[in-house]
Structure 1
Amino acid sequence: MTKKLTVLMTPANFVGPIMSSIGIGEVLRDSGHRVVFAVRASWRPKLQALGFVVELLGGEQEVVKDTVEDSLELIKNMISNRTPLEKGLNTFTTEMMADLIAIGEADEPYYRQIIDRHKPDAIISDNVINMPSVVNSGSVWIMSNSNNPLSLDMCLEDNRLPPSLLGLPINDKSLWDDYRRQINETRFQAFKVWADWLQSHGCPAPAANQLWFPSPYANFYLIPKELDYTDIRPLPDNFYQFDYYKRTANEDVFEIPEQLRQKSGKLIYLSLGSMGSADVDLMKRLVAMLANSEHRFIVSKGVNHDKYELADNMWGERFVPQVKVLSIVDLFLTHGGNNSITECMYFGKPMLVFPLFFDQFDNAQRVEDKGYGIRLNPYECSEQQLLQSIDKILNDNKLIEKLRQVSQRIQTEKLIEKIPEIIDRLVKQKSK
C-alpha cells in the first residue's frame, strides 16, 4: 500500500449485501484504508463496533428500525410455496420499480452529501441497481454483486446460460426460451421506467431488460470457483470473482450447548436466513420432521424466535454466530443465500439447500448440479425424504473429501485479499 485510501461502501438495505460489504470492508480496513458505510440507522452500532465510519441514509432523525421486523409484510409475499417462475415473474415488476425509484430519490441527496463530505477514492456499491450519485461521483466506482452470478444476466445477458432466479438446470434447456420470454415480457416496462429515471439523473441507460450497467472500472461478484459459470460463459476482464466475503466474526464466541454435548449423533446447523426464518409455519414444519432424526441440531430461530419451540435434539436462539457455528458442524441445512453458500464452502461442509426466493433457487440447483449437496423443497418434502437426504450426505465420504479439498483451496488462495491491490491500482490509473 502506497497511500491510505477512503473507500465508501453503499450496500442495499438487506442483510446479504451488508454482510458481504462487511467482509470486503474488513479486508480494506486491515490493509490500512479508511472505510465508510452509508447505511440505515439500525446498522450503525454493529458497523461502528467493527471500526468503520458510519454515515446515515435518512439522517440522524430517522427512526431506528429492525431491518427484518420492518420487512415482515414483504417477506410474507416473497416466501411462500409458489414455483420459482411465479416468484420470478413477481420480481422487478413495475410496482417494485416504482418503490425502488422512490427509495432512490429519497437516498440520492444523502449519497451526494456523503460523497462530497468524504471525497472517496473508491466506491463499492452492492446495490444491484446503479445509483446516479455513485456513477457521477468522479470516483472509481465498483459494482459488487453478492447474489448468485447468474443474476449478472441483468447487465450481461447471455443465452448460453438459463435466465436467472428460476433455479433451472444447466444440462436441460427445454424451458429456457419460454421462461426467458415470459420474464422479459413481464419486466420490459418496469426496466424501461428504471432506465428513464437513470437517464433523467445524467446516467447512461442500461440496454433493454437489463437492470443495471457494469462499471467501466471493476465489477466484483461472489461465488466459489467450483460453482461459477465461467466454464460456459466467460466474463469481461474487469469482472473479478471472489470465493467468499466471510466476516472474521472475531466478536463472536460460541461453544456447543451442554444439552447437545450430552447427546449422540452428528451436529447439524439449520438456518433459513434472516428472512426465511420469519416464516413460523415453515420453521415449525422443519422442526417437527427433524425432531425424529438421530442427529443434533443448532437452529437459527430468527425474528419470530418466541413463536415456536424446538425439539429435545435441538438448541437455538434468535441470532446464532453463523461463521463460528459452520466451523464445527457436520452438515448445513440452508436456504441457499449466497453468503451462506460461500461460507459453507469456505469451511468445506456439505449442504442440503431449501431455496425460498430470488437467487436461492439458482444456488440450490448449482450446488446439486455440481455434486456438493442436495436441493429440496422445504414446503413439500416428506419427513422420509428429508431424513434420508441428511443421512445420504453424512455418509458420502467422497463428497466430504471433495469439500475438504475445496476448503483448503479457498483458504489457501485467499482471493479476497486481492481487493485492496485492485482498488489501489484502479485509483492510480485514474489519477494519471
Structure 2
Amino acid sequence: MPKEPLIAFFPEASFGAALNCIGIAQVLKGLGAKPVFICHGHFQGIFAEYGFAEFPIPAQTKLSAAEHQHYWETFIEKNIPYFDQTPLEQIDSYVAPAWEAIIDTAIEAEKPLQQLLARLRPDVIVLDNVVTFPAISNAGCPWVRMVSCAETELPDAAVPPYLSGCAASDAAAREAFVSRYNAAVAPAHARFSRFLESCQHPLHPPGQFLEDSPHLNLLLSPTPVRYNRKQPLAPERYVYLDGCVRSEAPYVVPEFPAHNEAPLIYVSFGSLGAADVQMMKRLIATVAGLPYRFLINVGAYREMYDSVPDNVYLDSWFPQPAVLRECRLFVHHGGNNSFCEALYFGLPSVVIPYCWDGHDNARRAEEVGVGAYLPRYAEPLAALPEALRQLLADEALAARLQGISATMQSNPGSVNAAQAILALTE
C-alpha cells in the first residue's frame, strides 16, 4: 500500500489561521492524506476537536499553557487604548511592539520545532504565520506559505502597504506609512536578522519578517477583492484561493424574545477583539433598539455581560460558517477569514477594524463595494445603524453578492489548496 502523505500544518496561535487550515486539512483527509497540526501549547485542543492529531511545540520557558494564553490576553488588553488610533498612529504604539512579541515566539520555538520536525518527517509543511521559522525551510521537504492575512502582505508597487489601510490610489499616504513603518520596526527587524544569521538563514528586506516559499504560496484572497498587481505573481508558485471554509454541522438559531422574524446579523471581532469588553457593551447598547436580531460573539468574556437585550443573543463561541448561512449581514473586524467567509456566503460586511490587516480589508471592502468601512477612530457606533439599514436595503448589492457566493462555492478554495499541496508530494 502507498504511504499516506503526511502534511504538517503550523498555523499561528489565532483562530483565523487555525480554522482556515482546518478547512484545507478536511479536504486533504478526504483525498487520502494524513494532515496533522503543529501548535503552540496554549492552542491545544482546537484541532483535536475536528479529529486531527496535534503536536504541541515543547516550551523552552517555565510558563504553563494557561500562563502563555494569559500572556497574549494581557498583551491585547494592554493595547486596547490603541485600537481607536489611525493605522499610521498604531505603527509606534501597537505594530512595532507586536512584532517584538511575535519575534520572541519564533526564537523560542526554533530548537523545539527542529526536533519535532525531525521526528515527524512530514512530506510537506504548511506555514500559516507572519514570521519566518528557519526550522521549516531547513526541514528537508517542500513547504507552503499560507497567506491568510490580506493580499497586501505580499508587497507590490500597485498594492497598498501591509497594515496601512491606505487606498491603492493614495500615493502620498502610502509613502508616509512606509517611511514611518520601516523606521519604527527597524529595531525589531535588526534583532530578527541577527536570529536568522545565527540559523544560517537568508535575511529579509527592510520591514519584512517572512519570505515567500520557493515551492508554493497560497493566497486567501477571493477574486472580487484582488488587486491588479504591477508585477503579476507566477501562477505555478502562487495560487489564489476563493476562501477556505471549513465544514461545520448546521446551526440552529435560538428563539429571540423580540423581532424573532427580523433579519439576522452576526457580530464578531475575533478572539482578540472580544477583549475590548467596554466597546462590545457600547455596541450592544447601540443595537438594542434596532429592528434586527443579533448573534454576538463575546469570546472568553461571557460572564462580564449580565444584561442582554431581547434582540441579542451572546455566546463565547459560534461555528461561524454554519451561522453565516443563516444570516443577512456580518459585522466584523476585517480579519481575512471573516472577510472571505462573508463573501463565500453572499453577505455584505460592516467592517470595524481595530488593528493589523483589518484596516486593509476594511478599505478594500469599501473600494470594491461589498461593505461599509467604519473606522474606530471616527465614532463607528454612531454610524452603525444607518450602515446596517443601507446595506440590508440594497437589493442590487444582495444580487451581486449572491453571484460572488455562487462562484466561490462552485470552486472551493479549500479543494484547490489541497490539490496544490498534494502535487508537492508527487
| TM value normalised by structure 2 | 0.92
Aligned residues: 421
CA spacing shift, 1:236–1:78, aligned 2, 3 Å: farther
**Contact 1:161–1:233 (8 Å) recurs in 2:** no
Kept after mapping to 1: 8 A contact 2:158/2:229: no
Q: Deviations over 1:105-156 (max 9, x none)?
A: 3212221222111211100111211111101111101111210010222xxx
Deviation at 1:348, TM superposition (A): 0.5
- Structure 1 residues 324 and 424, CA gap change in structure 2 (3 angstroms): closer
Gap runs ≥5 in structure 2: none
Partner of 2:182, secondary structure, is helix
Q: Distance in 2 between matches of 1:243 and 1:77?
A: 35
Number of the residue aligned with 2:204: 206
* Maintained 8 Å contact 1:8/1:123: yes
Amino acid at match of 1:44: Q
Bigger Cα displacement from structure 2, 143-152 vs 33-42: 33-42
> Shift in Å at residue 231 of structure 1?
5.2
Aligned ranges for residues 13-412 of structure 1 at < 5 Å?
13-58=13-58, 63-65=64-66, 69-79=70-80, 80-91=83-94, 93=96, 96-153=98-155, 158-230=156-228, 233-237=231-235, 238-250=237-249, 253-259=250-256, 263-308=260-305, 309-378=307-376, 380-381=378-379, 385-412=383-410
CA contact (8 A) 1:97 1:194 kept: no
1:3 CA drift (Å): 5.5
Classify the secondary structure of the residue corresponding to 2:425.
Answer: helix
CA 1:46–1:379 in structure 2 vs 1: closer, same or farther (change >3 Å)? same
Q: Deviations over 1:299-349 (max 9, x none)?
A: 112221121232121111111221111001111111111111111111001
- Alpha-carbon distance in structure 1 between the residues aligned to 2:76 and 2:219: 25
Q: 1:284 to 1:100 in 2, by over 3 A?
A: closer
State the shift of 1:187 in Å: 2.0
Q: Secondary structure of 2:310's partner?
A: coil
Measured after TM superposition, the shift of residue 73 of structure 1 is: 2.0
Give the aligned residue type for 2:289. N
Give, in whole Å, the separation in 1 of the partners of 2:416 and 2:53.
Answer: 22
Instruction: Kindly state the Cα deviation for residue 292 of structure 1 after the two structures are TM-superposed.
Output: 1.6
Q: In 2, are the aligned partners of 1:338 and 1:363 still within 8 Å (CA)?
A: yes
Deviation at 1:90, TM superposition (A): 3.9
Q: Which amino acid aligns with 2:77?
A: K
Pair 1:68–1:345, CA change in 2 (3 A):
farther
AA partner of residue 241 (structure 2):
F
Greater Cα shift, 14-23 or 62-71: 62-71
Structure-2 change in CA distance of 1:67 and 1:291 (3 Å): farther
TM-superposed CA distance for 1:207, in Å, is 2.1
Work out the CA distance in 1 between the residues paired with 2:255 and 2:161: 47
**Considering only aligned residues, what root-mean-square deviation do their CA atoms show, in Å?**
2.3
8 Å contact from structure 2 (residues 259, 291) kept in 1: no
Q: Contact 1:92 / 1:190 at 8 angstroms: preserved in 2?
A: no
Structure 1 position 75, deviation (Å): 1.1
Between the aligned partners of 2:228 and 2:380, the Cα distance in structure 1 is 35
Cα deviation for residue 275 of structure 1 reads 0.9
Name the counterpart of 1:416: 414
Unpaired runs of at least 5, structure 1: none
Q: Is contact 2:163–2:359 with CA below 8 Å preserved after alignment?
A: yes
- Aligned mates of 1:97, 1:333 — CA distance in 2: 27
Give me the whole-angstrom Cα distance separating, in 1, the residues matched to 2:41 and 2:286. Answer: 39
The CA distance in 1 between the partners of 2:251 and 2:68, in whole Å, is 24
Q: Deviations over 1:1-51 (max 9, x none)?
A: 975200111111222221222122212112111112111334333312322
Q: Distance in 1 between matches of 2:169 and 2:257?
A: 42
Q: Secondary structure at the match of 2:397?
A: helix
- SS for the counterpart of 1:258 is coil
Distance 1:68 1:310 in 2: 28
Tell me the distance in 2 between the aligned counterparts of 1:135 and 1:92.
Answer: 26
* TM-score normalized by the length of structure 1: 0.91
